[in-house]
Structure 1
Amino acid sequence: MGILTEVMDPEIQIDVVNLGMVYGVDISEDGKLVTITMTLTTMGCPAYDMMREDIIDRVGSFEGVEQVDINLTFDPPWDKEMMSDEAKLVFKYLF
């Protein structure tokens, strides 16, 4: 779902897809339920609630979608190597 590239980690200002935080997107057969499996850059990330609401709002705006569930996992734990090459380049200049 390309719409997830519009969801930014507010602390890093890189989207959750290019950060490698999205592990999977499952859409039910009837298209009413979208389940997103993702992780965070750190456990207890204070920005999670903001990102969660943004994901639910954006994905839930698609016609026919009635429910958006987010499965938060730390297996495998996030690592900088999960980022896209583009994100690694941006990250290198920011930090």
Structure 2
Amino acid sequence: MSEEIAVDSQELGEKIVTVLKTIYDPEIPVDIYELGLIYDVFVNEENEVKILMTLTSPNCPVAESLPAEVEEKVKSLDLVSDAEVEITFDPPWTQDLMSEEAKLELGLL
């Protein structure tokens, strides 16, 4: 009888967030997580990750490359079997979605 090591989903979630905090919006010196661009992160039993995120605007210059970068960096985690990014503009991003840390960094507080 073989024992499977259960992956702690909270631990995996924290690792995913850590990776997301290494990805920056090229126009704003704050990571995409603190900017509030990540709306949700789903992980299923097979450790496939789906990330629901937005961009600061539909005309964002990194609309093509940023989701691909997020996918690649999340896929690089050992415990992640696959990653997919879905872009949504509902609800549209506003500065209200930024963390206190991001607002402070940008002098908005």
Query: How much has 1:50 moved relative to structure 2?
Result: 2.6
Q: Decide which structure has the larger Cα Rg and report it.
A: 2
| Residue of structure 2 in register with 1:20 after alignment | 36
Specify the alignment match of 2:6 in structure 1.
Answer: none
Query: Where do 1:62-73 residues align within 5 Å?
Result: 62-73=77-88
> Structure 1 residue 65: deviation in Å?
2.4
Partners of 2:33 and 2:106 in 1: CA distance: 14
Report the TM-score, using the length of structure 2 for normalisation: 0.76
Pick 1 or 2: higher relative contact order, CA cutoff 8 A, min separation 6. 1
- TM-score, reference length from structure 1: 0.87
Conserved 8 A contact 1:4-1:55: yes
Paired positions, count: 92
Q: 1:42 to 1:30 in 2, by over 3 A?
A: same
More strand by share: 1
Residue pairs, 1:3-18, within 5 angstroms: 3-18=19-34
1:51 corresponds in structure 2 to: 66
Tell me the percent identity: 37
Offset, 1:44: 2.2
Q: In the TM superposition, what whole-angstrom CA distance separates every residue of 1:12-66 from its partner, at most 9, and x where no partner exists?
A: 12101100010000011111x1100001111121112232222122100112423
5+ residue gaps, structure 1, are none
AA in 1 matched with 2:33: V
